[in-house]
Amino acid sequence: MVIDSDLPPSRAGSLPLIGDNLALDFANTESGRGFASHQNHLRDAAKVLDWLDHARALSPDQAQWLRAEISARADLAADLHASAVELRSAIHGVGVAIGRGSEPPQSSLASLSAQYARHINRASLKLETDACGWRWSVRDAPVEAALGTIALAAVELFTEGEFSRIKECGGHACGWLFYDTSKNNRRRWCEMEVCGNRAKQKRLVARRRGA
């Protein structure tokens, strides 16, 4: 059994936001699925809040209030963590299938649909300048306020985005997702400086061995 003290420190509050989409960045809080290098950065409700604050999915005041609440209420902390993990899994399941040119699993679609319905049900439509948007009250619906913008971003991406631009990083044991906004739609890596360079070094070593 692996316990948290045996794992590398969580980087929930400092992970690179390379997905060009809030929902894909959220899916990227886990990496190396199925490999020995697997890392899960959302290990508890506090780590979920670290990421939400880092990604500016919550305002600093909202994050501070919710952090105090999960410290005082174990039920709220458990709900926030479980909902976050379920939402992340659903987004990744749909996103990675699209990135590989496959049909998304019905289980992932159903899970994302249920999460979206829960969060939107607690939102209100508000007029802001020249457009309307969904808004949540963190005090009235803390979990929905924390995760609602992510669920909304995921549904908008998977219903309105270009599937050819939803991609999985080509790096070994990575699994991060991103929306390719490049003009020629030829981006391959989550970060060229990380997975791109690793692949480059691997090819270089292979050529030297072949020589």
What's the residue count for the chain? 211
Task: Tell me what pLDDT residue 130 has.
Answer: 87
Kindly state the tokens that stand for 202.
């691997």
Confidence of residue 7 (pLDDT cuts 50, 70, 90): confident
> For the chain, what is the mean pLDDT?
92
**Sign of CA pseudo-dihedral 128, 132, 136, 140:** positive
Q: Which of 137, 144, 7 is nearest to 87 (CA)?
A: 144
Would you state the torsion angle of the CA atoms of residues 59, 90, 47, 196, taken in this order, to the nearest 10 degrees? -100
Cα 142 from Cα 166, distance rounded (Å): 30
pLDDT of 2 higher than 50: no
**Does the pLDDT at position 206 exceed 80?**
no
Model pLDDT for residues 95-144, shown as the tens digit of each residue? 999 999 999 999 999 999 999 999 999 999 999 888 999 999 999 999 99
- The answer for residues whose C-beta is within 8 angstroms of residue 130's C-beta and 6 or more apart is none
The whole-number pLDDT of residue 129 equals: 84
Distance CA 97, CA 92 (A): 8
Instruction: Determine the Cα–Cα distance for residues 22 and 158; give it in Å rounded to an integer.
Output: 13
**Can you tell me the distance from the alpha carbon of 153 to that of 24, in angstroms, rounded to the nearest whole number?**
9
pLDDT number for residue 128:
85
Domains in the chain, CATH or no CATH each = 18-210 (1.10.3300.10)
* 63-108 confidence digits (pLDDT tens): 999 999 999 999 999 999 999 999 999 999 999 999 999 999 999 9
Q: Give the model confidence (pLDDT) of 153-166 as tens digits.
A: 999 999 999 999 99
Number of C-beta neighbours around residue 193 at 10 A? 10
Question: Is 5's pLDDT higher than 70?
Answer: no
